[in-house]
């Protein structure tokens, strides 16, 4: 499909998760909207295997494969991807996807339609189905869709699952790249920057399956991520009941064992 004119750049960073990469690429075959897929490999151990997987899908998509010569981490990889997409000066929208997560329900079509309805929107997420590594359902994540509700929610939790978001390219030009001072929480900090300057919403449909992977950043670097969350919420703190509850919630999350936290999410979300 190389050469197909489109306005969507899909940014997919990858590191040592070839099985997840294949699952994610396969899910994109059901998308109706044309797109260019930018796969950024962050110094995986077997890059030749990554290249073989990409070659399986070149007949279906316009794919650009880039590689860091060494492992630089997710934030630097994402920012390199954004910089490259901006330099192309072609794409109006940037969609995120992580290896192991899959698009469902004509995700891109739904999100583009939402952008077209409201030209002031800068960021669009969706409802998300959380699954384990065997693709068994854990729970559904259904944040609010209203802009005011989302702005308030940001002070308690991140209502935008990273793999579910699409944002305008102009947003990056206005707010800059992913912040580097919140380790393992670059997405949450990035969304805070966006929602201060642009309207945002969440499509009230399940458009992404998010894989809870024991090797994923959210689990392996959970302690570091929670510290970053506390730091971010303190820096964004505005005196009030909701923001105070959000900060207290972050401290509680820090001390709760992961299995207990997952139990509460499955039980109450």
- Residue 110 Rama label (left phi>0; alpha psi -120 to 50; beta): alpha
Question: Which residues lie closer than 8 Å to 152 by C-beta, 6 or more apart?
Answer: 242
The band of 247, judged by pLDDT with boundaries at 50, 70 and 90, is low
Note the pLDDT tens digit of each residue in 79-107.
Answer: 999 999 999 999 999 999 999 999 999 99
This prediction has a pTM of 0.89
**Does 1 reside within a domain?**
no
* SS3 assignment, position 160: coil
Mean pLDDT of 6-30: 96
Q: What is the mean pLDDT of residues 54-68?
A: 96
Return mean pLDDT, the chain: 89
Q: Are 209 and 131 in contact (CB under 8 A)?
A: yes
The Cα–Cα gap between 187 and 179 comes to: 8
Confidence of residue 3 (pLDDT cuts 50, 70, 90): very low
Flag whether 3 is in a domain: no
> What 3-state class would DSSP assign to 111?
helix
Token reading at 106: 């004509």
User: 26-40, 182-196, 239-253: which range is least confident on average?
Assistant: 239-253
Q: Is 160 exposed, middle or buried (0-12, 13-18, 19+ CB in 10 A)?
A: buried
Q: Do residues 211 and 132 touch, judged by C-beta distance below 8 A?
A: yes
Res. 185 pLDDT band, cuts 50 70 90: very high
Assigned domain for 64 exists:
yes
Please report, rounded to a whole number, the percentage of residues in the chain having pLDDT higher than 70: 84
Write down the pLDDT at residue 204: 98
Count of structural domains within the chain: 1
- Alpha-carbon distance 24 to 74, whole Å? 17
Q: 31: which DSSP letter?
A: -
For the segment 197-209, the average pLDDT, to the nearest whole number, is: 98
Coil, strand or helix at 137: strand
Domain CATH for 170: 3.90.550.10
| Structural domain containing residue 255 | 8-268
Residue 98 domain-assigned (yes or no): yes
């Amino acid at each position: 499909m190389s050469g197909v004119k489109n306005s969507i750049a899909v940014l997919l960073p990858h590191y040592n998760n070839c099985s997840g990469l294949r699952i994610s690429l396969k899910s994109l075959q059901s998308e109706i909207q044309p797109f260019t897929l930018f796969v950024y490999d962050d110094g995986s151990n077997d890059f030749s295997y990554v290249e073989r997987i990409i070659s399986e899908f070149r007949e279906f998509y316009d794919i650009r494969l880039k590689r860091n010569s060494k492992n630089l981490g997710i934030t630097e990889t994402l920012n390199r991807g954004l910089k490259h997409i901006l330099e192309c000066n072609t794409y109006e929208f940037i969609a995120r996807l992580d290896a192991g997560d899959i698009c469902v329900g004509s995700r891109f079509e739904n999100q583009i339609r939402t952008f077209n309805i409201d030209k002031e929107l800068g960021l669009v997420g969706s409802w998300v189905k959380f699954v384990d590594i065997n693709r068994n359902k854990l729970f559904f994540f259904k944040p609010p869709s209203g802009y005011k509700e989302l702005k308030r929610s940001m002070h308690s939790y991140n209502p935008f699952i990273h793999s579910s978001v699409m944002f305008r390219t102009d947003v990056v030009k206005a707010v800059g790249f992913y912040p580097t001072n919140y380790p393992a929480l670059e997405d949450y900090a990035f969304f805070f920057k966006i929602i201060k300057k642009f309207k945002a919403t969440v499509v009230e449909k399940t458009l992404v399956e998010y894989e809870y992977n024991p090797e994923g950043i959210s689990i392996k670097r959970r302690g570091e991520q929670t510290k970053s969350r506390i730091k971010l919420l303190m820096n964004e703190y505005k005196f009030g009941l909701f923001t105070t509850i959000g900060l207290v919630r972050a401290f509680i999350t820090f001390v709760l064992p992961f299995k207990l936290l997952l139990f509460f999410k499955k039980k109450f979300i």
